[in-house]
Amino acid sequence: MSARSGPILLAVAVTALIAGVVLSHATIRSDMADFLPQGRTAGTSLVSKELLSGAATSLIMLGIEGARPGELARISQSMTRALDRTGLFSFINNGSQDLLANDAEQVLFRHRYLLSPTTTAEAFAIPALRDDMERLLRGLQSSAAPLVEQFGTADLPGAFPALLHDLIGSSRVHTLHGVWFAADRQRALILASTRAGGMDVEAQEAVSTAIQQAFTAAEPGNAKLLAAGPAVFARAAAQAMRADVMLLSIASTALLAALLLWRFRSVWMLIVVAIPVTLGIAAATLVVQLVFGFVHGITIGFGMTMLGVTLDYPVLLVGHRKHGEAAKDTLRRIGQAFRLTALSTALGLTGMLFSGFPGLSQLGCFSVVGVAVAAAATRWLLPYLIVAAGVAPVSAGDAARLLRIEHLRVWRGYVAGACVLAAGWLTIVGGPRWQSELAALSPVPASDFALDAELRGEIGAPDAVLLGVVQGDTAEAVLRQEEQLLPGLDALIRDRVLSGAEVAARLLPSAATQLARRAALPAPDELAARIATAQAGLPFRPGVFQPFVDAVAASHTMPPLLPSDIDSPMLRARLDSLLFTRDGLWYGVIAPTDLRDPSRFAATLQQDGAMYLDIAGETNAIVADSTSKAWRWLVAGGLAALAAVTVGLRSPQRVATVAAAILAALLLTVVILTAAGVPLSLIHIIALQFVCSVGLDYALFFARRQLDQEERARTLRTLATCNAMTVLTFAMLALCRTPLLQQIGITVVIGSLAAFVLAFLFAGERPNDRPEPT
């Protein structure tokens, strides 16, 4: 190890060790429910979290189209059998199972007289039994004769078909070639639920692979496979973001390395730049872990992007160093501007800490700590390393020729006028258009959401957006409350306010209701006598209804079916999303389908003591509130940064030029985005905070007093290098497939270019200014 390389290699080893230890021990989560805002009350927060990460997220809806119906049915059957064998699914159904072939229907059939709403004393009276027998005769002469023959004599009142109707819900599928098809198009349908949670991205990767392999093994020809559901979205979003991050990492690293090698002609410069940034990321991860108890994956991803501003710090230090100059001499010339840059940037980013948005608060903490540590490492560690390595910029040629660019500052008045006109235009059009919907933060394309809505409508799966919620100390209490709601919900269905409603109490009545139905059952001997009377004159042989009598007799001694008794995967999957416990309380969800009048639905719920919850409205309101807070805290952080600059510069004129450059850059960025029709969201506020940070770098270094033309040329070259690094990195981000990352990239590219140009024009000295010594 040479004397020149020894200190740097030692610093690299220590930095890598620190980063490795911190990152390997950090608790990194990828559940979106931990990053997104929760409800504004305890109840809505719990329900929102359940819907974002609970059993409902494991639902997967598959569609197969692009071939003849018979071929689609064959593919559906082949896929269903193959996927069932994988063990990855708690249930999978394409409509092909025979009645009583699956465990859910066996449970329902066995407990039909305790569970079915048809179980009343009147249903077992002689007139009702006579009507049932006549209906049975008609059924035996119809196309449904096999089913009627199988179940009719064992279930004369039709309790089981009523339960099946509630199990199927509001599905509009029809059976063709033995499998489900959409009612209005040539598309085979499969409904499945995974054993793993929908937000478990790694497990969903295995599920996705199994689905694709099953489709390929079915030799689909020209058929096309469609997939939707929360689990599909989570995996696809994670996969797209990983691909984008990989592209960004490789491409931006290569471009930045090429730029730095061209500018400084030293491989050591690449290491010098990496050390402060890596230490900043490690420290930020550690502090977030200690403060929040975990680190979200998005925080690390976005946080590393935000800490891209710290790449400027070593470049500012090395770029202003003369060949052979001692570290203390370089720091003497740029120390004040460097300290103000780091301090004002950190203060500007503190606004995110108080936004009220969990993910944004984490990101703010990560960014502030990372900036502070990277700046400290640049100030106290890097000077010794760059002197040891002899790193310094390569001369760009004649300083006087380079500084002729400064004569462009004569246009600053015209540019200021253009900014005023831009502000006037923005005022006339009513300001920027704000996007406060959660969808604006989602990496999932709008086309995927449209497919999800389409498949849900075809299968009859409710969309968990407008919901009713009941709360109780026990599952029994929740089920009783839901039973009080059923008459009102049935009235809404009759009035076509909604087409159906998923309610746990329809599938599993309360124990009290089951006991009341059991009490309404006649004694076996009495039932046999009534049957004999009712069938008089009808062509039924004696004893044909004995299975019916035996089933009623068994029901007399049957205990109520409780939630804990259900081990059917299909029923379990249905109930877990409708009835669940959190923090010692039980919650029941009422999920309507085809809701046409939310106000009447809400009034019906509230009349019987249930909550009405607009998940989308609730979440969007929180996002809007968080966006408003973030905007206010962005302004507050900017004012704090301005105060630090005012104290540090001690020159009202220079403070004014720095502030003007930053405000003009933000204004032009917002104007350009608005003119392009881009609605601004919370993501744009994050990007604008980054623009403020890099803009402060440029403005403070242009505004500092510089003793000679060579120093001014050195500053211009260094800041141009910093700006090129930012533009190259975020231009790659703008090319990503993920809409959210694209918006960040586009915003920062526009903003950083505007910040550099305006800082050069407004904060720099005019061509004939005489710099004063500091």
Is pLDDT of 167 > 60? yes
675: CB partners within 8 A, 6+ apart: none
**pLDDT, position 773:** 42
Q: Using an 8 Å Cβ cutoff, are 619 and 36 in contact?
A: yes
Q: Using an 8 Å Cβ cutoff, are 183 and 95 in contact?
A: no
Is pLDDT of 568 > 80? no
Cα–Cα distance for residue pair 175/179, rounded to 1 Å: 5
Q: Concatenated DSSP letters for 507-568? A: HS--HHHHHHHHHHSPPHHHHHHHHHHHTTTSS--TTTTHHHHHHHHHHHTPPPP-GGG---
**pLDDT, position 75:** 92
Is pLDDT of 729 > 70? yes
- The angle, 0 to 180 degrees and rounded to 10, between the axes of the packed helices 103-110 and 569-576 is 80
Cα–Cα distance for residue pair 552/111, rounded to 1 Å: 10
Nearest to 467 by CA among 590, 327, 619: 590
Is pLDDT of 132 > 60? yes
**First-to-last C-alpha distance (Å) of the chain:** 41
Is pLDDT of 53 > 60? no
Instruction: For 377-420, write each residue's pLDDT tens digit.
Output: 988 888 888 777 777 666 655 556 666 777 788 888 899 999 99
Number of alpha carbons in the 13 Å side-chain half-sphere of residue 747: 26
pLDDT band, residue 751 (cuts 50/70/90): very high
**pLDDT, position 337:** 82
pLDDT > 70 in the chain, percent? 82
Nearest to 346 by CA among 379, 397, 306, 387: 306
Instruction: For 464-516, write each residue's pLDDT tens digit.
Output: 677 888 989 999 999 999 999 999 988 988 898 888 888 889 889 999 999 99
pLDDT > 90 in the chain, percent? 19
Q: Using an 8 Å Cβ cutoff, are 294 and 31 in contact?
A: no
**pLDDT, position 43:** 53
Q: What is the mean pLDDT of the chain?
A: 80
Is pLDDT of 54 > 50? yes
736: CB partners within 8 A, 6+ apart: 244, 247, 248, 742, 745
Q: Is the pLDDT higher at 206 or at 437?
A: 206
pLDDT band, residue 127 (cuts 50/70/90): very high
Query: Given phi > 0 = left and psi -120 to 50 = alpha, else beta, which region is 522?
Result: beta
- Residue 55 to residues 196, 539, 589, 656, Cα–Cα distance (Å): 9, 50, 12, 56
pLDDT band, residue 300 (cuts 50/70/90): confident
**pLDDT, position 229:** 82
**pLDDT, position 353:** 73
Cα–Cα distance for residue pair 271/279, rounded to 1 Å: 12
Instruction: For 88-119, write each residue's pLDDT tens digit.
Output: 887 788 877 544 445 556 777 888 899 988 88
Overall average pLDDT of the 735-759 stretch: 85
Instruction: For 681-717, write each residue's pLDDT tens digit.
Output: 877 887 888 888 888 888 888 888 766 777 788 888 8
Q: Is the pLDDT higher at 235 or at 678?
A: 678
Instruction: For 650-685, write each residue's pLDDT tens digit.
Output: 788 888 888 899 999 999 999 999 999 888 887 788
Q: Is the pLDDT higher at 723 or at 46?
A: 723
Q: Using an 8 Å Cβ cutoff, are 507 and 574 in contact?
A: yes
**pLDDT, position 542:** 84
SS3 461: coil
Which residue shows structure tokens 């075809």? 458
- Residue 334 to residues 118, 379, 497, 704, 759, Cα–Cα distance (Å): 85, 11, 70, 8, 17
Nearest to 704 by CA among 757, 759, 745: 759
Is pLDDT of 3 > 90? no
Is pLDDT of 601 > 80? yes
Instruction: For 196-226, write each residue's pLDDT tens digit.
Output: 776 667 778 888 889 999 999 998 888 999 9
Range from 27-36, 358-367, 472-481 that averages highest in pLDDT:
472-481
pLDDT band, residue 567 (cuts 50/70/90): confident
Record the tokens describing residue 471, joined without a space: 């709360």
**pLDDT, position 648:** 77
Cα–Cα distance for residue pair 152/145, rounded to 1 Å: 9
Is pLDDT of 299 > 50? yes
Query: Given phi > 0 = left and psi -120 to 50 = alpha, else beta, which region is 583?
Result: left
